[in-house]
Amino acid sequence: MHGSGYTRDHLRIRAAFHREYAEQDVDFYAWVVDHVPWQGGEHVLDVGCGIGLYVPYYLRHTSHLVGVDISPAMLQTLRESVSFPGALLVARAEALPFPPNTFHVVFANHVLFFVDDVERALTEAHRVLRPGGWFVAATYTEESLAQVYRVHARALHRIGRMPTRARHLRFPLETGAEVVQRVFPSVQKDRLPNAFLFPSVEVAMRYYLSGPVREVVGPPLSPAEREALLAEVRTRIAREIHRHGVWRVSKDAGVILARKEEGVTIKGGDLEDEVGLDRRGL
């Protein structure tokens, strides 16, 4: 595990949950990728590409793809599972190994909340984009998964432990757009409401075990603590399902879309604003 703490299996399991238990039958990946005004044949960089869940959607528009991820294991799985036409490199979002003005589109989907220095990662994305190029970052909203984290926090308190702050709150749709605007002058955000409908305790527990269970301050849970925690969580979820027939967990997400200025060249990483653009925003 690197960077995110997610393994390849966690990503696979979570993607399957999004497909099977969503309230709205929307293809989120297509929705994100379709925000780019594609012409065809663009050079695309996917930062934190993971196991390549977005790759089939990029391939609808272009075969000029490059992926980077901090985790060699993720890239290995991508290579085994998807036919990827371009280069795959182990690299950090904060230090992209490409010259300035290389790509027409840079994606960073569900990644920036893991990155240590978000502003540095955004500056890097801006540097490697061509003038007029598009930056796309998919992320969650602040309210997303709140019900899961609430159950997790209350159950942890019962066993005398503390939850960490949900990771996506480091770069949610609401405030993430403001951070992107520090680097890109032109930023928009778009929200897609949706929810999980967990039909049984077993299904909800599988989701919980695929991620939120690990969000604990301090040392890893002892086997006894883990058993007590899972029992608490089960009870709380069972109560919800008994009351409502299903456990509804909002998972609103969205996309931040930004554009690099036209007429700006970057030499050796230093921005030279040739036309004196107003960088305060739209």
Ligand X SMILES: C[S@@+](CC[C@H](N)C(=O)[O-])C[C@H]1O[C@@H](n2cnc3c(N)ncnc32)[C@H](O)[C@@H]1O
Q: How far is the CB of 254 from ligand X (least distance, A)?
A: 13
Residues 30-69 contacting ligand X, CB under 6 A: 48-50, 53-54, 69
Closest contact distance (angstroms) between CB of 61 and ligand X is: 17
Cα–Cα distance measured from residue 85 to residue 151, given in angstroms and rounded to the nearest whole number: 43
Asked whether position 250 contacts ligand X by CB under 6 A, the answer is no
Kindly state the smallest distance separating residue 138's Cβ from ligand X, in Å.
Answer: 7
> What angle (nearest 5°) sits at the alpha carbon of residue 36, between those of residues 34 and 39?
105
Judged by CB under 6 A, the residue of 21, 114, 135, 140 near ligand X is: 114
Q: How far apart are CA 159 and CA 181, in angstroms?
A: 42
Round to whole Å and give the CA distance between 76 and 74: 5
Interatomic CA distance for residues 96 and 46, integer angstroms? 11
Q: Closest-CB residue for ligand X? A: 50
Q: Is 215 in the site for ligand X (CB under 6 A)?
A: no
Q: Rule CB under 6 A: say whether 92 interacts with ligand X.
A: yes
253 neighbors 173 (Cβ within 8 angstroms): yes
For CA atoms 76, 78, 84, 89, the dihedral sign is: negative
Is position 155 an interface residue for ligand X (rule: CB under 6 A)? no
How many positions of this chain bind ligand X (CB under 6 A)? 21
Binding site for ligand X (CB under 6 A): 2-4, 6, 11, 48-50, 53-54, 69-71, 74, 92-93, 109-111, 114-115
